[in-house]
Amino acid sequence: MLVIPAIDLKDGQCVRLKQGRMDDATTYGDDPVAMAERWVAAGARRLHLVDLNGAFEGKPVNGEAVTAIARRYQRCRSRSAAASAPPRPSSTTSRPGSAM
């Protein structure tokens, strides 16, 4: 199994949103590159970078932080969810092992 840690970026800080609400965020750090370093030092081979401002606004906002991390950790693949987030499964979406 490959665990891919996510670094959620809001206003240049590493955060976690409560129930997906931008106005209710817990800040875990103000240096995204240092946060990436912690994950890489812990053994992460990949990082999932989420530009929350960009996801809500429909265009990249935290691009400088994403670029800085990508340049420093080129051996890790990074994916930015700035422009569009993948669709969330609905209650009618088929899941492995479920009947249609």
| pLDDT tens for each residue of 14-43 | 999 999 999 999 999 999 999 999 999 999
Closest CA to 3 of 50, 32, 46: 46
Instruction: Provide, rounded to the nearest whole percent, the portion of the chain with pLDDT above 70.
Output: 74
Question: Which residue did the predictor score with more confidence, 84 or 50?
Answer: 50
**Quick check: 91 pLDDT over 50?**
no
Instruction: Read off the amino acid at residue 24.
Output: D
Mean pLDDT (the chain) is 83
**Quick check: 81 pLDDT over 50?**
no
Paired tokens of 47: 């990082």
User: 99: which DSSP letter?
Assistant: -
Instruction: Provide, rounded to the nearest whole percent, the portion of the chain with pLDDT above 90.
Output: 72
For 61, phi then psi, to 5°, come to -125, -40
Strand order in the sheet with 21-29: 21-29, 13-18, 6-10, 46-51, 77-80
Give residue for tokens 């669709």.
Answer: 87
